[in-house]
């Protein structure tokens, strides 16, 4: 285990305190921690477990149970393919395959340059726009396999601008 920075430790202790170090507030604590840190490595889980006075295994059990929590850092852009039924019926698998092929990563993976993470999500409820891909707060509707390259290029450019 690598040590957490003093700032991070301090932040996490404060978050736990805000929830009265109550073990029943574990999920709320984890939400806040992930919002700030981006992911929940074992070091973070260990510290939270200590603060809430519960075993590490309880925290680990919760983190791995819920798909919202992640133990690995994500790329700059999280490309999420909607896996809802309406999107499935409208051919989301072809879209997902094309993203996998072009980025050369599996679902849940991050490109070596740290730009893209490819994930799937359950219905976003924008079923009339199916198939849907969401990146950050932006929702792309009626996506076709041919559009995939364009979308990737667009965000590659953004990533370069950020550099």
Residues in contact with other proteins by CB under 8 A are 22-28, 30-31, 58, 61-62, 65-69, 83-86, 88-90, 94, 97-98, 101-102, 121-130, 139, 141, 144-146
Query: Based on CB atoms, which residue is closest to other proteins, 72 or 114?
Result: 72
Q: How far is CA 137 from CA 40, 51, 140, in A?
A: 22, 33, 10
Contact (Cβ atoms closer than 8 angstroms) between residue 44 and residue 38: no
Q: How far is the CB of 43 from other proteins (least distance, A)?
A: 20
Query: Based on CB atoms, which residue is closest to other proteins, 114 or 125?
Result: 125
Q: How far is the CB of 125 from other proteins (least distance, A)?
A: 3
Q: Is the N-terminal amide bond of 131 cis, ω within 30° of 0? A: yes
Q: Partners of 140 in the beta sheet? A: 133
Q: How far is the CB of 61 from other proteins (least distance, A)?
A: 5
Rounded distance between C-alpha atoms, residue 33 and residue 28, angstroms: 9
Query: Based on CB atoms, which residue is closest to other proteins, 115 or 129?
Result: 129
Query: Based on CB atoms, which residue is closest to other proteins, 28 or 73?
Result: 28
Rounded distance between C-alpha atoms, residue 150 and residue 63, angstroms: 35
Q: How far is the CB of 79 from other proteins (least distance, A)?
A: 16
Q: Partners of 81 in the beta sheet? A: 120, 133
């Amino acid at each position: 285990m690598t040590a957490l920075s003093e700032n991070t430790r301090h932040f996490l202790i404060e978050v736990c305190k805000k929830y009265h170090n109550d073990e029943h507030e574990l999920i709320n604590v984890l939400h806040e921690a992930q919002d700030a840190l981006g992911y929940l490595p074992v070091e973070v889980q260990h510290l939270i477990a200590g603060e809430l006075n519960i075993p590490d295994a309880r925290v680990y059990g919760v983190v791995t149970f819920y798909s919202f929590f992640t133990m690995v850092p994500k790329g700059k852009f999280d490309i999420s393919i909607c896996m809802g039924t309406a999107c499935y019926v409208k051919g989301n698998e072809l879209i997902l395959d094309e993203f996998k092929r072009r980025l050369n990563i599996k679902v849940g993976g991050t490109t070596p340059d740290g730009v893209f993470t490819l994930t799937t999500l359950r219905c976003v409820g924008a079923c009339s726009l199916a198939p849907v891909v969401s990146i950050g707060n932006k929702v792309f509707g009626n996506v076709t396999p041919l559009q995939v390259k364009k979308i990737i290029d667009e965000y590659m450019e953004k990533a370069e601008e950020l550099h």
